């Protein structure tokens, strides 16, 4: 069981001014922010980040959407971080996300679904390292 996960606040949520409310939910749920960056992905970097989905029908649109505006990337710390964060954000499709989850509250669509959350300890480490070098993390 790992104590870290990786998240992004996606372009729709940044554009809707939801950075503050989403970070508040994350803190209220007991996560500590241990690295954070406001940035924008090029299409090339978004494509690399989501390379695991490159054969899926939604990949091209996803890459263009994820590079369409600024994002906030962060590493979060808490016991059982990966699983607890996935519960906090809710289902991929906001129409199916449980009431009170971040996607239920802030997402626009299955694509523009407000936040990313790592799905395993292994991917949390890979994704965190994609945005943050060892010296930036603490
Ligand atoms: N996505 C999409 N259409 C789909 C499924 C996923 O546009 O039918 C997007 C959505 O932004 C999602 C991302 O692709 O968050 C990665 O998909 P995944 O199945 O990994 O969902 P997640 O782990 O983010 O819940
Ligand atoms: Mg996923």
**Domain count of the chain?**
1
Look at residue 57 and tell me whether its pLDDT is greater than 90.
yes
Those residues whose beta carbon sits under 5 angstroms from the ion ligand 2 are 119
**Average pLDDT over the chain, rounded to an integer:** 96
User: Is the pLDDT reported for residue 81 higher than 90?
Assistant: yes
CATH number of the domain enclosing 15: 3.30.70.141
Domain extent, residue 94, equals 4-136
pLDDT of res. 22:
99
Distances (CA, A) of 13 to 64, 76, 88, 102: 16, 18, 16, 10
CA distance 92 to 13: 15
Residues with CB under 6 A from ligand 1: 53, 58, 62, 92, 110-111, 113, 116, 119
What pLDDT score does 20 carry? 98
Using DSSP, state whether 71 is helix, strand or coil.
strand
Residue 123 has pLDDT above 60, yes or no: yes
What backbone phi and psi angles, to 5 degrees, belong to 4? Answer: -130, 145
- CA–CA distance, 36 with 114 (Å, rounded to integer): 16
**Residue 55 CB-density burial (10 A; 0-12 exposed, 13-18 middle, 19+ buried):** exposed
pLDDT band at 135 (very low <50, low <70, confident <90, very high): low
Per-residue pLDDT at 2? 81
H or E stretch at 67:
none
Q: Does residue 40 have a pLDDT over 60?
A: yes
Q: Ligand 2 centroid to 119 CA: how many Å?
A: 6
Mean pLDDT of 114-130: 97
**Res. 1 pLDDT band, cuts 50 70 90:** low
Mean pLDDT of the 9-15 span: 98
Contacts of 82 (CB under 8 A, 6+ apart): 2, 5, 117, 118, 119, 120, 121, 124
Q: Which of 25, 78, 103, 116 is catalytic?
A: 116
């Amino acid at each position: 069981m790992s104590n870290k996960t990786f998240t992004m606040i996606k372009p729709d949520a940044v554009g809707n001014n939801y950075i503050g409310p989403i970070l508040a939910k994350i803190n209220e749920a007991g996560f500590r922010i241990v690295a954070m960056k406001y940035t924008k992905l090029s299409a090339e970097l978004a494509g690399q980040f989501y390379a695991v989905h490159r054969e899926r029908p939604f990949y091209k649109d996803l890459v263009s959407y994820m590079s369409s505006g600024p994002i906030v990337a962060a590493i979060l710390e808490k016991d059982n971080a990966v699983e607890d964060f996935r519960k906090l954000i809710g289902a991929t499709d906001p129409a199916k996300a449980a009431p009170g989850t971040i996607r239920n509250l802030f997402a626009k669509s299955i694509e523009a679904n407000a936040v990313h959350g790592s799905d395993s300890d292994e991917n949390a480490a890979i994704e965190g390292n994609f945005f943050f070098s060892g010296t930036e993390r603490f």
